Amino acid sequence: MKRGIIAFAGAIVSLGFLGASAVANYLFGASLGRTLWEAQLYGAVGVLAVAMNALAPFYISWSLAAKRRITAASIMLLWALCLTYSITSALGFAAQNREGVAVARQVTHDAYDDTRRELLDLEARRKDAIARDKYRLDAKIDDARKRLAAARSKDPAPADAQSQFLSDLLRGYVAARHVRVGLVTLFAVMIEMCATLGLFASLSHGSAKPPPPAPKNQAPPQAPAPSRWTPNGSKSRPSPTPP
């Protein structure tokens, strides 16, 4: 009973990974199309590749059990192609998403730093300016302060806090950008491998292993011989006849 419940839970989790992989592959494939039909085609191919990844382990297992090695080898080749396509699609999706967010946040930070430097420069120039130029500099200072206050009100998040923290944890031996590339790769590979092998692994443990069959040359158990009465009142069994 416990085995069945755990296998059912694993199947549900695997279906979740399959859905995530299908969505990621579809969105990345759709982004490659120049027209609506091309986008639909690329997206559908990505979803079909994910479905084949989930089915291929079953086909390979059945082929090996039936000792069809050529069939199993051809399915492995097909599986390798579909798995490679799915992983590269997931990598493209994750890179577009994470890199795009990181670049947008970095632009916001750069704009804030530039405005702050501009304000400091204007305030330094105002100290030595003549009275006629102070009015012009005051207007620029007010404008810079408004832009700086607007940037602060947006409460910008770090460009990639996770990558920066891991880079600091590694004492700077790995740059934050390289850490971000590693995280993108980890995300894509984890989704695709769980979507590919999760369903096979969970359903393979759904039922207990059947007991091994009895040897064919083993003789069936014989029934005990009937007892007979003796003169002293006890019962004895007849001695077995020699073969």
Could you give the number of structural domains in the chain?
1
| Within-domain flag for 241 | no
User: Side-chain half-sphere of 166: how many Cα atoms within 13 Å?
Assistant: 13
Domain limits at 158?
2-207
Neighbours of 205 (CB within 10 A): 13
Confidence (pLDDT) at 232: 54
At 235, which helix (H) or strand (E)?
A: strand 235-236
236: three-class secondary structure by DSSP: strand
Give domain status of residue 103, yes or no. yes
The predicted pLDDT at position 86 comes to: 93
Asked whether the beta carbons of 2 and 206 are under 8 A apart, the reply is no
Question: Does residue 189 sit within a domain?
Answer: yes
| pLDDT one digit per residue (tens) for the chain, 243 residues | 677 788 888 889 989 999 999 999 999 999 888 899 999 999 999 999 999 999 999 999 999 999 999 999 999 999 999 999 999 999 999 888 877 777 666 667 767 777 778 778 877 777 776 766 777 777 777 777 777 777 666 666 666 778 878 888 888 888 888 888 888 899 999 999 999 988 888 888 655 555 566 565 655 556 555 555 555 555 555 555 555
CA distance 39 to 35: 6
pLDDT at res. 155: 61
Residues 6+ apart with CB under 8 A from 101: 160
Task: Assess if residue 239 is contained within a domain.
Answer: no
| CA-closest candidate to residue 16, choices 191, 241, 137 | 191
pLDDT at 229: 52
Assigned domain for 153 exists: yes
Shortest CA distance to 8 belongs to which of 203, 195, 191?
Answer: 203
Packing angle, helices 131-153 and 69-127, rounded to 10: 150
According to the model, what pLDDT value does residue 21 have? 92
For 225, residues 6+ apart whose C-beta sits below 8 A from its C-beta are 237, 238, 240
User: So what's the pLDDT on residue 215?
Assistant: 60
- Evaluate the CA torsion angle 152, 153, 159, 164 in order and state its sign: positive
Which residues pair with residue 229 across a beta bridge?
235
Looking at residue 140, what is its pLDDT?
78
Is 226 domain-assigned? Answer: no
Torsion sign, CA atoms 28, 32, 35, 41 = negative
Q: Label residues 128-154 b or e (16+ Cβ within 10 Å = b).
A: eeeeeeeeeeeeebeebeebbeebeee
**Amino acid, single-letter form, for residue 34:** R
Whether 72 is in a domain gets the answer yes
DSSP state of 234: -
Q: Would 154 be classed as within a structural domain?
A: yes
